[in-house]
Amino acid sequence: MKLHSTLILALLLAATSCSKEQSISLVTQEVTRGSISETVTATGTIESETSVDVGTQVTGIIDKILVDFNSQVKKGELLAEIDKVLLQSELTSAEANVNSAKASYEYAKTNYERDKALHDKKLISDYEFDTTRRDYEVAKTSYEKSVADRVKAAKNLNYAEIYSPIDGIIISRDVEVGQTVVSNMTVANLFTIADLDHMRVVANVDEADIGRVKEGQKVTFTVDAYPDEVFHGTVTQKRISPTTESNVVTYEVLVSADNSDHKLIPGLTANLTIYMLDESDVTLVPAKATRFIPHAYPEAKNLPTIPEGTSTQAYNNPSDPDKKRVWIVKDNAFLPVIITVGATDGINYRVVSGIEQGTKVAIEYSVETPTEDNGEHAGGQSPFQPKRPGGNKK
């Protein structure tokens, strides 16, 4: 209340101290339609959404390489071959072992079935039957193992041909023809294939802004390689694991982007703008209008009057903070209007209801001083604005 009284007193003093050439006028602005947005900026690195390291699970010498850097490949396309001589010989040996083990198994099975029938008639001893049954089980196990070895040898032979697991572009080739690749506990890497049709940006967002970033928000970004082009993306993930560097805490945010023209390549640095608020073709009212309070200036002419009994106290509704008050002028008198607002960018509010487009709302008072003593035009000035230093010098 004390502050309110002080403001009224200051305005009255400003009005009465003005010269005859000064006048106080009301500044209004129309409720319009337009766009409202709120953004944060970040930097990040571009990478492929899908990137696969292609390797081999067998040891051998590279016999053929059918692709090179930047080669476009399709899923299932042959990329390289490892020399097959040793692998083919291992398969041949495994097949021979299968045939040998199968013969032994069939012989042992025949003996087992014959001795079982004799044992059931008490014509042979338990020892003889147990020996025959053991030989049969050993032969069966050996045969099953030889079959598994043949499957392994055939699979290793297939591994000698390296195929692409995805559609993409070769971005790395780590072998040459004649080079020996060794498969130990890890797969020997030969190529790296990336899907450049779908890229993503791994952005580092400051801790002060991460709370307002959400999945699905629109993103625009630029890269130094194409400084005049703006790329578009969408926030797909917000990672909650922090990164601290030089006492600065950031969080990773993943932004997906279409790259059908393949302009974006892995490793580029991106400068991002994340739109936390982005609404277009909505009704907007100036935020200053919701803070305006009318005052009476007895010396001023042509100002709207304040109807008797109308409260000019600051409007505050804690139970419904989306309710705001604006003042319009009707029949040369101030008329308070309660409106419902939505999002704001600090300059405008989106109007949900309560006022129509084109309505003029009061913004502030302005002091007009046509000419100063030195002949300079002073222009409009709010009663609250400090005077220019040295303005009263002779």
- The pLDDT of residue 62 is 93
Mean pLDDT of the chain: 86
What is the residue whose two structure tokens read 């209340």?
1
C-alpha 204/C-alpha 195 separation (Å) is 23
Question: What average pLDDT does this structure show over 94-99?
Answer: 96
Q: What is the pLDDT of residues 174-185, one digit of tens each?
A: 889 999 888 765
* Residue 118 DSSP label: H
Q: What is the pLDDT of residues 39-89, one digit of tens each?
A: 999 999 999 999 999 988 888 999 999 999 999 999 999 999 999 999 999
Is-contact 79 162, C-beta < 8 A? yes
**Per-position DSSP letters for 150-192, written without gaps between them:** HHHHHHHHHHTEEE-SSSEEEEEE---TT-EE--SSSPEEEEE
Confidence of residue 263 (pLDDT cuts 50, 70, 90): very high
- Above 90 in pLDDT, residue 368? no
Question: What average pLDDT does this structure show over 90-107?
Answer: 95
Question: What average pLDDT does this structure show over 87-107?
Answer: 95
pTM exceeds 0.75: no
- The pLDDT of residue 133 is 94
Give residues with Cβ within 8 angstroms of 228, minimum separation 6.
none
**Is the backbone of residue 63 left (phi > 0), alpha (psi -120 to 50) or beta?**
alpha
Any idea what the Cα angle at residue 293 is, between residues 288 and 299, rounded to 5°?
120
- Above 70 in pLDDT, residue 8? no
Confidence of residue 12 (pLDDT cuts 50, 70, 90): very low
Q: How many helices (H) and strands (E) would you count in the chain?
A: 3, 20
The tokens for 371 are 């000419």
Residue 133: strand, helix, or coil:
helix
User: Torsion over CA of 224, 230, 235 and 241, rounded to 10 degrees?
Assistant: 20
Q: What is the pLDDT of residues 183-212, one digit of tens each?
A: 765 656 899 999 999 999 999 999 999 998
Single out the residue of 349, 229, 210, 225 nearest to residue 274, CA to CA.
210
Single out the residue of 236, 247, 237, 66 nearest to residue 163, CA to CA.
66
- The pLDDT of residue 11 is 46
- The pLDDT of residue 373 is 52
C-alpha 186/C-alpha 99 separation (Å) is 33
- The pLDDT of residue 297 is 82
Angle between helices 126-159 and 85-120 (to 10 degrees): 160
C-alpha 147/C-alpha 231 separation (Å) is 56
- The pLDDT of residue 391 is 44
Confidence of residue 370 (pLDDT cuts 50, 70, 90): low
The tokens for 198 are 């779908």
362-390 burial code (b ≥16 CB/10 A, e <16): bbbbbbebeeeeeeeebeebebeeeeeee
- Above 60 in pLDDT, residue 382? no
- Above 60 in pLDDT, residue 301? yes
